[in-house]
A and B are shown apart, each in its own frame.
Chain A
């Protein structure tokens, strides 16, 4: 089926036409190019309702035993890690590989239990680096309460792989009756972020060649398993949670607005930002709403329960800076709109491709 036919089958697509016959870096950015790839190639290619829901993890009902009881629901997810540099302030590719997958399970309301890890190593990688990465992963697993139970290793020729790529998959259990989904947001709900935004992406960019800062800006890479457990105990009415990784808070909220067919209204003055991250964004001409986070989540909760949830989050070490940043509205369905510091409004569009620092 041609791309055009697929587009027609999926109905009117709000994304502009693309004329790419080769993969670009932008296809991996978590923004609209990535979304296009998913909608046009992967979803129709594999064609099943679980995949098409495009949640952060797949919740699978296993068939029950003979007594008619339903089987447990397993949450299953996978993620690949290709970060450069391998080691950065606040973490490394190993910690990201564990946290990223654990968090995808946790924000779906599952208790993460087991991980697998597949390594693609480039010939010539120092074994000391691999040991360091494995040690980080072990430590991250312990912190998250998961065990890494199976794995694989491949090695490719020097020059054919960028030192280390890691793919982790994870499974967890979803308690009976729990059903979080990004299509369940309702007008009136509040949008809460668990802490400061943009930390991870800025940490990475700050150590990239050409942009070195002298200040150490740390990634926020961390497991959210315990925080989400606390949150769901305090507030079972949470509609959904999302971890805003690449593409930032903007991508997560745009996906939510689209899936629930609602509008999201943000207030710029409420966005929690570390001073250094703000300054770095100013210097590089970046908008923190588009910068990746690796230890934060967004939660959507009915208005009546928002304060209670906020209090529970703030009492937890990983939610100290939790803040209400906006609300769900019926207007401008599918769009995220932000009221600026000076009162005018603007649309927070989905990131298109790769961010490049502006100069002017």
Chain B
């Protein structure tokens, strides 16, 4: 596949890993922000081909993982209403709320449907004028343009039966919160590639300056990530702290202006509670008042939600890069993808799920496995 395969090239990866090894002179801790990037690391064993001086910690870039428990419970309440067609991305269906997940609700008879695109939910609303169609609009800034487009289209087409339950989260406030938290060890970031295709990377410049951390906007394929690590390490070794753009084939400095304009028209910034992390001021989007007739939070009054989190789950620490999945006593034992205690296990982008899927809970991998020195990589048989 063009623009994918080239970035999975073994030879390119080998060269980059070798260059990183030659560059590094002391330990560095780097955080990759996005769940998709975490997934790539674990899937391709990227951390295994890096020199032991580099530690990759996993960031909160999994929107499914950080959706507040109250919001999951609210979704549950809305989806339970008779006559509602509740549409969602596939991942959200298995996130545990206080009283079960949406998939269980579906098995009990609620009309819960997976859609690939928010625009499909709009189509559903047009085709079912007698039903209330509600779309669970979660995501980082990446998903904001399609979600905004869905609401904007519904308004333009006068689809009064379409509404969205919004729980958008924003990356820059999250990174700032991480850098400000006591115990933070992160010295550099692999920035969110797809978020920046929308928003550009200008808002990361003040963060790099204020905290003195290099931020390299990075793509999602193994070659992208190795290149991102290389540039970050070079900055760290040279004592620099600027924003660089590795993902330049898709990211422009100011992003996609049309998308940003539409986001601006439909959404406004608000405070958001992040599951496991807590309230981060001005870290989310909600619908503007002009779109109130499509705002499911206003349309469906739900009684006060009483949330109940597992006391064992350390998702919050994992999301902030303070702990790794195998630091959790429940990891792989009482907490598995079949029986998740918290969101980082149920979402396949969550660090815990990624580690589990690629076997990091098994005896020969994970915490006990000695980190490999750079060996021959890409050596085919």
Q: How far is the CB of B183 from chain A (nearest CB, A)?
A: 28
In the complex, which of the residues B48, B113, B349 contacts A344, with contact meaning CB atoms closer than 8 Å?
B48
Contacts of A346 in B (CB 8 A): 42-45, 358-359
Are B332 and A349 in contact (CB-based, < 8 A)? no
Sample 23 A-B pairs with CB under 8 A, ordered by A number: A16-B333, A18-B338, A25-B107, A32-B338, A33-B338, A210-B114, A278-B1, A279-B1, A282-B1, A282-B4, A340-B222, A341-B8, A342-B14, A342-B46, A342-B49, A344-B49, A346-B44, A346-B45, A356-B94, A360-B62, A360-B64, A360-B89, A360-B142
Does B26 sit at the interface, judged by CB under 8 A? no
Q: How far is the CB of B274 from chain A (nearest CB, A)?
A: 16
Closest to A333 in B: B364
Those of A303-360 within 8 Å (CB) of chain B: 332, 335, 337, 340-349, 352-353, 356-360
Please choose the segment from B174-182, B201-209, B373-381 that sits at the chain A interface, where 4 or more of its residues have CB less than 8 A away.
B373-381
Q: How far is the CB of A58 from chain B (nearest CB, A)?
A: 29
Closest to B12 in A: A342
In the complex, which of the residues A16, A25, A343 contacts B45, with contact meaning CB atoms closer than 8 Å?
A343
Contacts of B64 in A (CB 8 A): 359-360
Show the binding face of B for A, using Cβ within 8 Å: 1, 4, 8-10, 13-14, 34-36, 42-49, 62-64, 89-91, 93-94, 103, 107, 113-116, 120, 139-140, 142-143, 222-223, 226, 332-334, 336-339, 348-349, 356-360, 362, 364-365, 376-381
Q: A16-B336, A356-B114 are in contact. Are A349 and B356 (CB under 8 A)?
A: yes
Closest to A26 in B: B338
Give Cα A258–Cα B13 distance, bound, in whole angstroms: 33
Closest to A22 in B: B107
Q: How far is the CB of A32 from chain B (nearest CB, A)?
A: 7
Report, nearest first, the 6 A-B pairs whose CB atoms are least far apart.
Answer: A344-B45, A347-B359, A343-B377, A342-B13, A356-B90, A359-B89
Are A267 and B381 in contact (CB-based, < 8 A)? yes
Are B10 and A341 in contact (CB-based, < 8 A)? yes
In the complex, which of the residues B120, B339, B356 contacts A18, with contact meaning CB atoms closer than 8 Å?
B339
Those of A195-233 within 8 Å (CB) of chain B: 209-211
Are B359 and A340 in contact (CB-based, < 8 A)? no
Highest count of chain B CB atoms <10 Å: which of A19, A33, A332, A341: A341
Give Cα A360–Cα B116 distance, bound, in whole angstroms: 11
Those of A1-49 within 8 Å (CB) of chain B: 16-19, 24-26, 32-33
Q: How far is the CB of B363 from chain A (nearest CB, A)?
A: 9
Are A352 and B45 in contact (CB-based, < 8 A)? no
Are A211 and B116 in contact (CB-based, < 8 A)? yes
Give Cα A341–Cα B49 distance, bound, in whole angstroms: 12
Q: How far is the CB of B131 from chain A (nearest CB, A)?
A: 15
Contacts of B339 in A (CB 8 A): 16-19
Contacts of B46 in A (CB 8 A): 342, 344
Q: How far is the CB of A25 from chain B (nearest CB, A)?
A: 7
Give Cα A32–Cα B64 distance, bound, in whole angstroms: 24
Chain A interface extent, by class: 35 or more
Contacts of B376 in A (CB 8 A): 343
Q: A269-B380, A343-B377 are in contact. Are A358 and B91 (CB under 8 A)?
A: yes
Give Cα A353–Cα B101 distance, bound, in whole angstroms: 15
Contacts of A17 in B (CB 8 A): 333-334, 339
Does A85 sit at the interface, judged by CB under 8 A? no
Those of A164-214 within 8 Å (CB) of chain B: 209-211
Show the binding face of A for B, using Cβ within 8 Å: 16-19, 24-26, 32-33, 209-211, 267, 269, 275, 278-279, 282, 285, 332, 335, 337, 340-349, 352-353, 356-360
Are A360 and B48 in contact (CB-based, < 8 A)? no
Are B63 and A344 in contact (CB-based, < 8 A)? no
Give Cα A337–Cα B359 distance, bound, in whole angstroms: 9
Contacts of B44 in A (CB 8 A): 340-342, 344, 346
Are B362 and A335 in contact (CB-based, < 8 A)? yes
Give Cα A321–Cα B85 distance, bound, in whole angstroms: 44
Are A360 and B222 in contact (CB-based, < 8 A)? no
Give Cα A344–Cα B42 distance, bound, in whole angstroms: 9
Are A358 and B349 in contact (CB-based, < 8 A)? yes
Are A209 and B113 in contact (CB-based, < 8 A)? yes
Are A360 and B349 in contact (CB-based, < 8 A)? yes
Highest count of chain B CB atoms <10 Å: which of A16, A279, A344, A345: A344
Are A358 and B333 in contact (CB-based, < 8 A)? no
Are B358 and A360 in contact (CB-based, < 8 A)? no
Contacts of B115 in A (CB 8 A): 210
Q: A26-B338, A358-B348 are in contact. Are A335 and B378 (CB under 8 A)?
A: no
In the complex, which of the residues A16, A282, A360 contacts B338, with contact meaning CB atoms closer than 8 Å?
A16
Contacts of A26 in B (CB 8 A): 338
Give Cα A211–Cα B142 distance, bound, in whole angstroms: 20
Closest to B223 in A: A342
Give Cα A24–Cα B378 distance, bound, in whole angstroms: 41
Are B48 and A345 in contact (CB-based, < 8 A)? yes
Are B10 and A343 in contact (CB-based, < 8 A)? yes
Closest to B364 in A: A332
Contacts of B381 in A (CB 8 A): 267
Q: How far is the CB of B150 from chain A (nearest CB, A)?
A: 14
Q: How far is the CB of A65 from chain B (nearest CB, A)?
A: 51
Contacts of A33 in B (CB 8 A): 338
Are B338 and A340 in contact (CB-based, < 8 A)? no
Are A344 and B143 in contact (CB-based, < 8 A)? no
Contacts of A285 in B (CB 8 A): 348
**A342-B10, A347-B362, A349-B362 given. 6 additional CB < 8 A pairs?**
A342-B9, A342-B14, A342-B377, A344-B47, A349-B358, A356-B114
Give Cα A186–Cα B378 distance, bound, in whole angstroms: 26
Q: A16-B332, A341-B222, A346-B359 are in contact. Are A358 and B107 (CB under 8 A)?
A: no
Contacts of B114 in A (CB 8 A): 210-211, 356-357
Contacts of A32 in B (CB 8 A): 338
Closest to B11 in A: A342
Give Cα A356–Cα B91 distance, bound, in whole angstroms: 7
Give Cα A19–Cα B340 distance, bound, in whole angstroms: 12
Are B357 and A345 in contact (CB-based, < 8 A)? no
Contacts of A359 in B (CB 8 A): 64, 89-91, 139, 143
Give Cα A26–Cα B113 distance, bound, in whole angstroms: 17
Contacts of A360 in B (CB 8 A): 34-36, 62-64, 89, 91, 139-140, 142-143, 349
Give Cα A337–Cα B43 distance, bound, in whole angstroms: 11
Contacts of B336 in A (CB 8 A): 16, 352
Give Cα A230–Cα B94 distance, bound, in whole angstroms: 45
Contacts of B357 in A (CB 8 A): 349
Are A342 and B91 in contact (CB-based, < 8 A)? no
Q: How far is the CB of A235 from chain B (nearest CB, A)?
A: 21
Closest to B36 in A: A360
Q: How far is the CB of B359 from chain A (nearest CB, A)?
A: 2
